[in-house]
Amino acid sequence: MSGGVDSSVAALLLAKNAKYEVIGCFIKGYNIDGCQDTDAEDARRVAEKLKIPFYVWDFEDEYKKKVVDYMIGGYRRGITPNPDVMCNKEIKFGLFLKKALEMGADFVATGHYVRRRPEFPIINYQFLNTPESIKNCKLKIAKDLGKDQSYFLWTLTQEQLRHCLFPIGDYLKRKAREIARKADLPTAEKKDSQGICFLGAVKFKDFLKQYLPVKKGDVLSIKGEKMGEHDGVWFYTIGQRHLKISNLKSKISNHRPYYVVEKNIKKNILIVAEGENNPALRKKEVDLTDVNFINPAIHNFKPTFPVFARIRYRQPLVKAELEKSGGGWKLIFSKPVKFVATGQSAVFYAKNGEMLGGGVII
């Protein structure tokens, strides 16, 4: 229970089902501005309303090491890591799931907008080892396409999925709010969190400056023309704009926005292109590492097979080919896509909305 409306409704739905014995848990992670204290209290109030036990599990040190340090290290190397993916992998469905199972839980449930198939309404646990109950689970895009969070869950394994429940995956967000209001949950009107959770109201660049040096460098156009200066390439990502160079005139410029298309870490240089439709912003293919397939049977597929892919959260799905390439994988898009950032996740789906897996862009 995160203290938000989604996990509150997830707990409510399970608590209303007599088959389940529900226990609420708040994960204490690394947090800068203290906002998680309020979140923990909100979660406790919901648990009290639902009349379920409530615990706070302290994973602050592990979160700092496995999520925060991972993110800082990625920016230091010039890539754009995804801390939300790592939080799910290492904390929520890593340490938290492991501890829950060790303490006797059969499942963990979260407020993620994603659907797992088959569902697990089975509470007669003597049957959990039957072929029917241990067959491969699938993850599918949530009913609410605008809230779907499958993009962040591509690292999950079959062993983890067998112990996971996602109670709100078949609900629209507005319906979840309605359920919370009717149940008079304390979090019913609470706003959704934005940005990176452990930062709270702290600006991302200000946080990074505590760990990475400010080092002036040149901003160059794709033709080599100096457009301005920046504070250090590690503070920027591919596709970023608002570079404080819009007031600088180029001989061929129509004063359209500039976007980062390349970063030279060794020379501390940013390369920018003018206009959001500039061909320099697009890539036809990407190489992947750390690829994980939700359904292990995918390894039996042909060396190349069609998928639908996204390389950013909430980016529309695009047609692509997933191809074995040496010891790794390559994703080839039907049409070039914009703003491909090394370190981000590329996630691929089947036509029916099943998430097949994902990998890290290199």
Q: Which of the residues 25, 137, 164, 197 is marked catalytic?
A: 197
The CATH number assigned to the domain holding 288 equals 2.40.30.10
Specify the pTM.
Answer: 0.88
Percent of the chain with pLDDT over 70: 89
Joined together, the tokens standing for residue 35 give: 């906002």
Per-residue model confidence as pLDDT tens digits over 309-332? 999 998 999 999 999 888 789 999
- Give yes or no for residue 183 having a pLDDT over 90: yes
pLDDT of 255 reads 67
Q: For residue 125, what is the enclosing H or E element?
A: none
Same domain (yes/no): 185, 267: no
What average pLDDT does the segment 21-29 reach? 96
pLDDT (0 to 100) of residue 257:
87
Note whether residue 294 is domain-resident.
yes
Distance CA 201, CA 345 (A): 25
Q: What does the alpha-carbon distance between residue 79 and residue 72 come to, in Å, rounded to a whole number?
A: 10
Q: Which residues pair with 226 in a beta bridge?
A: 220
* pLDDT over 70 at 355, yes or no: yes
Do both 172 and 234 map to the same domain? no
Do 195 and 217 fall into the same domain? no
**Residue 198 above 90 pLDDT?**
no
**Active-site pick, 25, 87, 137, 164:** 87
> CATH number of the domain that 114 lies in?
3.40.50.620
Report the domain count for the chain. Answer: 3
Q: Are both 35 and 162 inside the same structural domain?
A: yes
| pLDDT for the residue 251 | 47
Q: Are residues 93 and 154 in the same domain?
A: yes
CA 2 to chain CA centroid, Å, is 16
Domain containing residue 10: 5-199
- Indicate whether 322 belongs to any domain: yes
Residues 90 and 190 in one domain: yes
The residue out of 151, 169, 199 marking a domain boundary is 199
Q: Of the residues 261, 276, 291, which one is the last residue of a structural domain?
A: 276
Flag whether pLDDT at 13 surpasses 70: yes
Q: Is residue 205 in some structural domain? A: no
For position 119, what pLDDT does the model report?
A: 61
Kindly give the pairing relationship between strand 217-221 and strand 226-230. Answer: antiparallel
pLDDT on residue 130: 41
Residue 25: active-site member: no
**For residue 121, what pLDDT is reported?**
42
pLDDT, one tens digit per residue, over 228-276 is 999 999 999 999 988 776 544 444 455 688 999 999 999 999 999 998 8
Same domain, 191 and 64: yes
